[in-house]
Amino acid sequence: MSFYPSKDILSIGSIGCNFACDFCQNCEISQANIQEYTHLRELSKEYITDLLEAEENTVGLAFTYNEPAIWIETVTEYAETVRAAGFKTVMVTNGYMHEKAIHGFCRVIDAFNVDLKSFSERFYKKITGGSLQPVLNNLKSIKRFGSHLELTNLIVPGENSDEREFKEMVHWISHELGPDTVLHISRYFPKHLRQSEATDESLLESLFYIANEQLSYVYLANSNNRVGRDTFCPSCNNQAIHRSGYYTIMVGLSEQGTCINCNHKIIKHL
């Protein structure tokens, strides 16, 4: 994420999801039930804060792996405790929930990474069992609230890989959420009920350049492509952040999150 990019974060999750994607990359936990999955361990709020305080470079807690919205009360309680201890909170979510739920989360979550799975209502109904419009509405709510927002679009060949549809999605993101919205274009791998071939790297690169025409911060995820790894200043194209695996190096970024070449603000949370 571009949210405190030089910091580590503690990630926790559970089991279950309100979607049923046949390509789910975390199907072992998201599609499991309590009887099938025997590796769960309850972690108290105090235990979590102790872990955070013991790690010098950790910025906070991320709710991820499965869908956090299905355990809204627990997420809210833990997020409140973590923030009271001086740490940040992050939620990785599909964004499909009631508007009251997203409004509640916005009060306790500092940053969201939302999986915008497609820009097609057909895709959402056929693949996820949900619908697109509530997700779009919630993205706009997060933006209005002022929380940090990033999007992830997992490209499944033949399902949401159409370039025209992708351009429409990018246009909507740029105009409704802003051109500085971070977009991660992620590579699909055969998993769960879908065993088609992984997303071709050349397709990812093509979509990267399409998105880069309207968005300032576009990245490729789960990819070996050298394109889409680093952060460049949208004003002068100076390299600001270099990434290699899990390592992040601030090569052209000031301590204030600005470009050292032109002083353009790049990272708001550093």
SS (HEC) of 143-196: HHHCCEEEEEEEECCCCCCCHHHHHHHHHHHHHHHCCCCEEEEEECCCECCECC
Same domain, 70 and 178: yes
- What integer pLDDT is reported at residue 39 of this predicted model? 82
Contact 260, 238 (CB under 8 A): yes
Residue 195 CB coordination number (10 Å): 9
Same domain, 234 and 216: no
Same domain, 147 and 60: yes
Beta strands 58-63 and 8-12 are: parallel
CA distance 1 to 239: 17
Same domain, 97 and 168: yes
Q: Is residue 22 part of a domain?
A: yes
Contacts of 96 (CB under 8 A, 6+ apart): 18, 19, 69, 128, 130, 131, 134, 135, 138
Q: Is residue 3 part of a domain?
A: no
Query: What CATH number has the domain bearing residue 220?
Result: 3.20.20.70
Query: Number of structural domains, the chain?
Result: 2
Q: Is residue 2 part of a domain?
A: no
Looking at the DSSP assignment, which residues form a beta bridge with residue 148?
Answer: 111
Q: Is residue 91 part of a domain?
A: yes
Same domain, 49 and 115: yes
Q: Phi and psi at residue 15, in whole multiples of 5°? A: -125, 155
Same domain, 255 and 132: no
- Domain that includes residue 202, residue range: 8-228
SS3 82: helix
Residue 123 CB coordination number (10 Å): 17
Of residues 234, 231, 233, the one with CA closest to residue 242: 231
Contacts of 226 (CB under 8 A, 6+ apart): none
Same domain, 76 and 18: yes
Beta strand spans in the chain (E):
8-12, 58-63, 88-93, 111-115, 148-155, 182-187, 217-221, 231-232, 239-244, 247-249
10-residue mean pLDDT profile of the chain (270 residues): values are: 94 95 91 79 96 97 97 98 98 98 98 99 96 99 98 97 98 99 97 93 98 98 94 98 90 97 96
Through-space distance between the first and last CA atoms of the chain, rounded to whole angstroms? 11
Same domain, 222 and 244: no
Residue 10 CB coordination number (10 Å): 16
Same domain, 157 and 84: yes
Q: Is residue 156 part of a domain?
A: yes
